[in-house]
């Protein structure tokens, strides 16, 4: 019952001043708010980077003519993949502006638990698939963009592209996945405990 009592107390005392809480152990809700802020910051950085990429891709598509349909389809596919990725990362935001304190503890814990699990899925499953799809799209793009280039230049371009995607990208993704797992799994376990205790109490009330 400790997890449930802790979250319930947070819920009742959420309007306490920061000074009153300064000496207390970091609560579950405070941890969630901290994770939330980092998610938003990371998403803003990703949105800026993707916006620059969109501009570059649009300029390439508009200004380069007399290319095969494969060239333009690869650019369109890259647009779709990046937009989908951005939408999924913004979807994982736990709550907007601030936690919905008007909701009951059960609704709040279930909603946040779902988003935390989705965040782990995003890094475990989607991002490796994203890297593979991006490599697939870039292969078709480079096939057209480098069709008149020398063999050495073509091999170098492919090597740098795949090396960056699966070397640097894969390493950073693996590192991020381990860090996120370490941070989010304890929160998921705590929220699961809250959900179990709430379900147990509801059964007893019936």
Per-residue model confidence as pLDDT tens digits over 100-130: 555 567 777 788 889 999 999 999 999 999 9
Instruction: Decide if pLDDT at 133 tops 90.
Output: yes
Cα 153 to Cα 205: distance, rounded to the nearest angstrom = 73
State the pLDDT at residue 18: 37
* Number of helical H runs and strand E runs in the chain: 8, 0
H or E stretch at 58: helix 28-63
If you average pLDDT over every residue of the chain, what do you get?
A: 80
State the pLDDT at residue 52: 95
State the pLDDT at residue 67: 81
State the pLDDT at residue 137: 92
Cα 187 to Cα 171: distance, rounded to the nearest angstrom = 25
Q: Residue with structure tokens 């620059």?
A: 52
Q: Is the pTM here over 0.85, yes or no?
A: no
Q: Taking residues 168-180, what's their average pLDDT?
A: 82
| Whole-number Cα distances in Å, 185 to 37, 65, 112, 113, 189 | 18, 50, 13, 10, 6
Residues 6+ apart with CB under 8 A from 1: 197
Q: Choose the weakest-confidence range: 37-41, 118-122, 136-140, 168-172.
A: 168-172
Q: Check if the beta carbon of residue 140 is closer than 8 Å to that of residue 70.
A: yes
Task: Name the pLDDT band for 165 (thresholds 50, 70, 90).
Answer: confident
Q: Check if the beta carbon of residue 131 is closer than 8 Å to that of residue 173.
A: yes
Residues 6+ apart with CB under 8 A from 186: none
Cα 106 to Cα 195: distance, rounded to the nearest angstrom = 7
State the pLDDT at residue 17: 42
| Whole-number Cα distances in Å, 196 to 111, 117, 120, 202, 206 | 14, 16, 21, 10, 16
Q: Taking residues 144-165, what's their average pLDDT?
A: 85
Q: End-to-end distance of the chain based on CA atoms, in angstroms? A: 18
Q: Check if the beta carbon of residue 89 is closer than 8 Å to that of residue 122.
A: yes
Task: Name the pLDDT band for 205 (thresholds 50, 70, 90).
Answer: low
Q: Which one is predicted more confidently, 45 or 153?
A: 45
CA atoms within 13 A on the CB side of 147: 9
Residue 142: name the closest of 70, 55, 53 by CA: 70
């Amino acid at each position: 019952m400790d997890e449930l009592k802790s979250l319930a107390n947070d819920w009742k005392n959420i309007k306490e001043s920061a000074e009153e809480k300064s000496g207390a152990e970091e609560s579950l809700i405070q941890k969630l708010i901290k994770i939330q802020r980092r998610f938003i910051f990371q998403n803003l950085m990703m949105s800026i980077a993707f916006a620059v990429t969109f501009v570059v891709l649009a300029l390439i598509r508009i200004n380069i003519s007399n290319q095969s349909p494969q060239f333009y389809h690869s650019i369109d596919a890259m647009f779709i993949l990046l937009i989908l990725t951005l939408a999924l990362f913004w979807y994982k935001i736990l709550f907007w502006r601030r936690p919905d304190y008007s909701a009951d503890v059960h609704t709040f814990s279930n909603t946040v638990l779902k988003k935390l699990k989705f965040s782990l899925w995003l890094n475990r499953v989607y991002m490796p698939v994203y890297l593979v799809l991006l490599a697939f799209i870039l292969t078709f793009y480079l096939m057209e963009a480098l069709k008149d280039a020398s063999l050495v230049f073509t091999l170098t371009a492919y090597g740098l592209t795949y090396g960056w995607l699966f070397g640097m990208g894969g390493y950073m993704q693996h590192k991020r996945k381990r860090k996120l797992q370490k941070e989010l799994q304890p929160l998921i376990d705590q929220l699961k405990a809250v959900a179990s205790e709430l379900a147990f109490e509801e059964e007893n009330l019936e």
